[in-house]
Copies of this chain bind each other. A is one copy, B any other.
Amino acid sequence: MRQTDYVILGLLAEQPLNGYQIKKIIDIRFQFFWSESFGQIFPALKSLAASGLAEEYPQEHTGGRAAKTYQITPSGKDALIDWLSQPVEKESLRLEILLKTYFSNYTAPSVMLGHLSAFEQSHAQQLHILGLFQKELENIPDDDENHREVLRVIDFGQKVNRAYLDWCRETRDYFEYKQHAPKSGAPKE
């Protein structure tokens, strides 16, 4: 069982879904900390069904190509609960922009300024989207749903993206200074 299987199981625990919908939910809601491709989702659904953790959910065909909707089975739910209690093992992070910052003395400050502005724009956008999600959730009354847990996840994204943007601005200032006073290296603080 790979992580992909558990993500899918977690989503199916809420409601029956097809592969396409699973992909959309991950792309939108998990945007800032997770991703999956169709090439992983469809084989995963197949293997989940083969091992009895999920099963096809019969549905009337309404439009578009026939969608295979899946629902979680009791043993699927057990597997999910078991996974939740296992220690978190993997935390993977790869930020090419930090690599380029580290090696940036081999290039011009203007090059780094370009990278930083792209990075800043993309994370400002992410922060904006997270704000919309937050408002949306806060407007819906909190019954027995998982809103508070989802808000914790959104808060993580907001904190991290704000940290990214702070760093961006400081680093931009540094490279701007370097560009104008290239010999002396950097401003004294």
Check if A107 sits within 8 Å of B81, measured CB to CB. yes
Q: Which of A8-50 contact B (CB under 8 A)?
A: 10, 13, 30, 32-35
Q: Which of A111-164 contact B (CB under 8 A)?
A: 111, 114-115, 118-119, 142, 145-146, 148-150, 152-153, 155-156, 159-160, 162-164
The verdict on A164 contacting B160 (CB below 8 Å), with A34-B94, A88-B115 known, is yes
Question: Which residue from B13, B34, B92, B174 sits with its C-beta under 8 Å from A98?
Answer: B34
User: Is A100 an interface position by the 8 A CB rule?
Assistant: yes
Interface magnitude class on chain A? 35 or more
Question: Which residue from B32, B107, B150 sits with its C-beta under 8 Å from A85?
Answer: B107
Check if A91 sits within 8 Å of B97, measured CB to CB. yes
How many subunits of this chain does the assembly comprise?
Answer: 2
CB-CB < 8 A to A160: which residues of B? 160, 163-164, 167
Check if B174 sits within 8 Å of A101, measured CB to CB. no
Q: In the complex, how many angstroms separate the beta carbon of A24 from the nearest chain B beta carbon?
A: 16
Check if B103 sits within 8 Å of A84, measured CB to CB. yes
| Residues on A facing B (Cβ under 8 Å) | 3, 6-7, 10, 13, 30, 32-35, 77, 80-81, 84-85, 87-107, 111, 114-115, 118-119, 142, 145-146, 148-150, 152-153, 155-156, 159-160, 162-164, 166-167, 170-171, 174, 185-186
Q: A-B pairs with the 3 shortest C-beta distances?
A: A105-B146, A10-B103, A163-B163
28 contacts between A and B (CB under 8 A): A7-B99, A13-B106, A33-B94, A33-B98, A33-B99, A34-B93, A34-B94, A34-B95, A34-B98, A35-B92, A77-B106, A80-B103, A87-B115, A88-B96, A88-B97, A88-B119, A90-B94, A91-B94, A91-B96, A93-B94, A98-B153, A101-B149, A101-B152, A102-B149, A102-B153, A105-B145, A148-B185, A160-B164
